[in-house]
Structure 1
Amino acid sequence: MIKLNRKPKPQILMQNEKTWSSNLMSAIASHGGYSKIPKEEKEPLINHYKHKDIKSNLFESSRQKCAFCETKPGESGNIEVEHFAPKAIYPNLTFEWSNFLPCCRKCNGSKLDHDTVQEPIINPYNVDPEDFFDYQDVRITAKNNNAIGKLTIDTCGLNSVRLMEPRAKILISLNSYSQSLEDAITNYQNADTAAKKTIRKRKIAESLEIIEKFTQPTEVFSGYCKFYLKTCEPFNMAKKIIEE
């Protein structure tokens, strides 16, 4: 999970949210509750939040990734607009821009109607997840065992097999690049002429460029990759060599 920056509210929402919300709240009052509105009446009332302009704006802010697990469901059409505070409990927030998150169906299904007001979890638009999470091998962990981090992991299923398996594949790649960096550093240190040092330093820079691509916000599991590199000795040593 990485920090996300919310884009300005889409024009379609600015123009219609009050009307949409008013119509929904009127139906709730008429039927005596959100859950009591007949499905055939409720769907047309709430489906406005799925407008293409809203989805496009929201999904762009996460680079088409799920805000929680950092997979790219957008590539398969399985990315959805998630209500951080569930609309079933807080229908007044059904069309609230700040309550929308881009989410994959798996995380959405895991979170369900978890009450984030009464039991808060991490919202990556509001706080930096890096302050709350670490990683151990292929598992995400709550930094210093903090409660909100633990609850987020459990609520969204962030250590499910579907996420640990691709993390494991990325870990293999990162370890391979790390070993290559280590070899490149050794070759650089053993260079016996200035010309050789220059050439080998350039190779280190090229290797760094490749491995750092894993941490770009557009990449899946970029938060995991960023954590790995923070504690990767060959990577940090290579950075120092390039900065010399």
Structure 2
Amino acid sequence: MHKVKRNKGPIKLMNKDKEWRDSLKINIKLKPNWEEFSKTVIKKETISMLEDMYKGCCCYCESKIKSTSYPEIEHFKPKTFYPELCFDYTNLHYSCKRCNLAKGSHYDDNIISPSEENPEEYIQYIGELAVSIDNNKRGNTMIDVLKLNERADLKEERIKYLNEFSKNYELIVSAIEMILNKEDSKDLSILKPFICNFIDNVELKSKHGESYCTMIKHNFLDKLDILMEFLK
């Protein structure tokens, strides 16, 4: 998870939100008919805007959604307990089905919104595992609620993705050490294209919109400084 800048929602949704809030003022016992709303063009436009905001990745697990499942709209504050926020775009996120089901109607002060706070202040990735920074409660809550380390398919995907980077990094480091042991710095020039390619790939895959970008950033971004030394 990482912080994401929220875009503007569809005008039609804003109108729907105002209409809904006005109705609640008249009758506070009204229940939002989300099922009916799900059949409308406004729902499709909302999904599209949220997809653009998260660049096709789940707001929580950072998997590319359309390659494995259908995207869902996740209500950060559950519509069951906060009906007034049902159509409020600032309360909506782009989520995969697994994360949406895991979070469900869970909400308290420990839950982190990726568009309001920076999750990286609470959660970091060590290898493929999401770990709470300094064992803080908010990080642990998000990891536990979303089952970020319990879902076998998610862990397998992260491991597979991470291993490609790890293998390439280890090969580069081994080659550098071998050349340095030969005390022939001229041979380092042979490695420069491979080092540059690795650095470019890490920087690219650490950006918003790339699958598991936070995991790649946390595992490899600090290693780039070491590699940069050999390019000087």
Q: Does 1:124 align with 2:114?
A: yes
**CA 191–205 in structure 1, closer or farther in 2 if over 3 Å, else same:** farther
- 1:187 positional shift: 6.3
Give the whole-Å Cα distance in 1 for the aligned partners of 2:192 and 2:179: 6
Structure 2 residues not aligned, in runs of 5+: none
**CA 50–165 in structure 1, closer or farther in 2 if over 3 Å, else same:** farther
The question of whether the paired residues in 2 share the 8 Å contact of 1:46 and 1:94 is answered with: no
- 1:203 positional shift: 3.4
**CA 169–47 in structure 1, closer or farther in 2 if over 3 Å, else same:** same
1:51 counterpart letter in structure 2? K
- 1:115 positional shift: 2.3
The question of whether the paired residues in 1 share the 8 Å contact of 2:128 and 2:159 is answered with: yes
Match 1:150 to one of 140, 143, 151 = 140
Q: TM-score w.r.t. structure 1 length?
A: 0.81
Structure 1 residues not aligned, in runs of 5+: none
SS in 2 for 1:237: helix
Give the whole-Å Cα distance in 2 for the aligned partners of 1:162 and 1:181: 29
1:100-179 matched pairs, under 5 angstroms:
100-116=92-108, 119-160=109-150, 161-179=152-170
**CA 150–185 in structure 1, closer or farther in 2 if over 3 Å, else same:** same
Give the whole-Å Cα distance in 1 for the aligned partners of 2:158 and 2:34: 39
**CA 154–12 in structure 1, closer or farther in 2 if over 3 Å, else same:** same
Work out the number of aligned pairs and report it. Answer: 230
* Corresponding residue for residue 20 of structure 2: 20
- Structure 1 stretch 203-212 or stretch 67-76: which is displaced more? 203-212
- 1:179 positional shift: 1.3
* Corresponding residue for residue 90 of structure 2: 98
Give the whole-Å Cα distance in 1 for the aligned partners of 2:105 and 2:92: 14
- 1:46 positional shift: 7.1
Give the whole-Å Cα distance in 1 for the aligned partners of 2:128 and 2:195: 27
Q: Does 1:237 align with 2:208?
A: no
Q: TM-score w.r.t. structure 2 length?
A: 0.85
Larger helix fraction of residues: 1
